Amino acid sequence: MSDKASQPKQLTLAAFLRAKPGMGEELGRRLLGLYEKSRAEDGCVNYHLHQSNDDPHVWMLYENWRDASDLDLHFTFQYMKDFVAVLDEVLEGEMDLRRFSMKTPFAAPKL
């Protein structure tokens, strides 16, 4: 019998980033460079990049990870370290990283 309390819990990360003036396209290009490697990570459930409809300088990453340890591991990979190391070239302010835990059962998308 499995103990639900000991099972890993899926973690959602919503990351909001605002580009410096005139750097929206460049920030988007750099963010697009992350998704294939991120999706290939063992603990990645899904990884999606969105751009604001109201402000082309605002980007959001919506990511789901098998559990918190998988997300923590994600930030240790060299490609992520390289991305973060030069992020201040294009980022206005700080990244807004928000962690969420799913509270409803997963439902497959309707086609």
Q: What is the pTM of this model?
A: 0.86
The pLDDT of residue 1 is 42
Give the pLDDT confidence score for residue 41 in this predicted structure. 98
Q: Tell me the mean pLDDT in the region 77-99.
A: 97
Architecture of domain 8-101: 2-Layer Sandwich (3.30)
Instruction: Find all residues with CB under 8 Å of 17, minimum gap 6, and list them.
Output: 27, 31, 58, 59, 60, 61, 91, 95, 96
Pair 27, 65: CB distance under 8 Å: no
User: For residues 105 and 22, which has the higher predicted lDDT (pLDDT)?
Assistant: 22
pLDDT digits (tens, 9 = 90+) for 4-62: 554 558 999 999 999 999 999 999 999 999 999 999 999 999 999 999 999 999 999 99
Q: Domain coordinates of the chain in residue numbers?
A: 8-101
